[in-house]
Amino acid sequence: MSTETVIAFIEQRENEIKKASLEALSVCVKLADKSNKKSIAVLVGGTFDSYDKISATGVRKIIHVTSPELNLYSASAYAEIFANICKEETATLVFFANTLLGKDLAPRISVRLEAGIGMDCVDLTSEGQEFIATRPIFAGKALQQFQVLTKIKIFSLRPNVFPVVTPGSSPDLETVRKDSANNNLAIKVSELKKASGKMDVSEADIIVSGGRGMKGPEHFPLIETLADTLGAAVGASRAVVDAGWRPHGEQVGQTGKTVSPTLYFACGISGAIQHLAGMSSSKFIVAINKDKDAPIFSVADYGIVGDLFEILPLLTEEIKRVKS
């Protein structure tokens, strides 16, 4: 076996392993096995009794770097620790999940490792040592296919695109736990403020979005009730965010969040090009709009032309009925 390795960064928040990290790890393990290199998962911070979720991917080595100082993200400390591990383990290929943490950390690591980097990749194919990656640009209005030219290559993978593969624990799994002292805390998260119980559009499997057709902020409970019934996140178009009806964190589109959930409901959203760019890679799209010529119908799998003030309550009731 080669001494070179393939490493995935594993993100934890409040001792929860991010699913997107397991997706990146699954790609890491597959490509490591294919090239006869050791796959390594590197987890920073948190306290864990077992690493079941990580080991289930068949990874060969788990390195967990711990310190109470590292439970919350510190860009400076994480960058130093993770880059050093990549060097010690002679990583030639490094994976991140393109979460808010991954987006922050991966470019820092690329400078430290003198590695070329591809952010937000949605496809990766390998041919021997060569990799061809694909990433959306212009929020998905086009795609770019590229190769990384440096010896060490870094790919940050879009969440919810690559599957988590769990062949089970590797028979020769090695687990290393290291305490970390003298951490570089020049940049440090001092507090985590959670939005009150709300799910974020960037992590949701189902999103229910409302647009100008909702006619006012007072009608958004219709959207919220449907979202609650589905266990979905609430999204919004730029028009309603700019009008102050909804917080900007809910905005989906080119100047908001680019999302690719399993199911996306566009309610009273006409489908401006910058909105379509941000959501058209959703697996299934439902459009409800009174204008039959609205561009949103061109990307919808299912559409209802009609009055959403009548349709949304009916839809909520019907879903409740089917689910019970």
Sole binder of another protein in the list 71, 92, 209, 251 (CB under 8 A): 251
Sole binder of another protein in the list 29, 226, 294, 299 (CB under 8 A): 299
Site for another protein in 256-295 (CB under 8 A): 256, 258, 262-263, 272-274, 277, 280-281, 283-287, 292
Q: Does 235 bind another protein (CB under 8 A)?
A: no
Site for another protein in 215-234 (CB under 8 A): 230
Q: How many amino acids of this chain bind another protein (CB under 8 A)?
A: 99
Which CB atom, from 60 or from 257, has the smaller least distance to another protein?
Answer: 257
Q: Build a one-symbol-per-residue string for 25-54: x at contacts with another protein by CB under 8 A, - elsewhere.
A: ------------------------------
Task: Write out the two tokens for 10.
Answer: 């594993």
**What is the distance, to the nearest Å, from the Cα of residue 281 to the centroid of all Cα atoms in its chain?**
14
Which CB atom, from 8 or from 286, has the smaller least distance to another protein?
Answer: 286
**What is the DSSP-derived secondary structure letter of residue 226?**
H
Other residues' Cβ atoms within 10 Å of the Cβ of residue 126: 15
Site for another protein in 187-206 (CB under 8 A): 187-195, 198-200, 202-203, 206
Which CB atom, from 256 or from 268, has the smaller least distance to another protein?
Answer: 256
Cα–Cα distances in Å, from 111 out to 145, 151, 168, 209, 321? 22, 13, 34, 38, 54
Rounded-to-10 torsion of CA 250, 254, 259, 260: 150
Sole binder of another protein in the list 87, 177, 215, 248 (CB under 8 A): 248
Task: Write out the two tokens for 296.
Answer: 């949103």
Site for another protein in 105-164 (CB under 8 A): 105-108, 110-112, 115-120, 132, 134-150
Task: Write out the two tokens for 250.
Answer: 């809910």
Q: Does 236 bind another protein (CB under 8 A)?
A: no
Q: Which residues pair with 164 in a beta bridge?
A: none
Q: Does 72 bind another protein (CB under 8 A)?
A: yes
Q: How far apart are CA 294 and CA 212, in angstroms?
A: 13
Rounded to a whole number of angstroms, the minimum distance from the CB of residue 7 to another protein is 19
Which CB atom, from 55 or from 316, has the smaller least distance to another protein?
Answer: 316
| Interface segment toward another protein; rule CB under 8 A; list 23-31, 46-54, 218-226, 242-250 | 242-250
Sole binder of another protein in the list 66, 126, 304, 309 (CB under 8 A): 304
Rounded to a whole number of angstroms, the minimum distance from the CB of residue 58 to another protein is 27
Sole binder of another protein in the list 35, 249, 295, 309 (CB under 8 A): 249
List Cβ<8 Å contacts ≥24 apart for 162-166. 162/23, 162/24, 162/26, 162/27, 163/23, 163/26, 164/19, 164/22, 164/23, 164/26, 164/57, 165/26, 165/29, 165/30, 165/57, 165/58, 166/26, 166/56, 166/57, 166/58
Name the helix (H) or strand (E) containing 130. strand 130-137
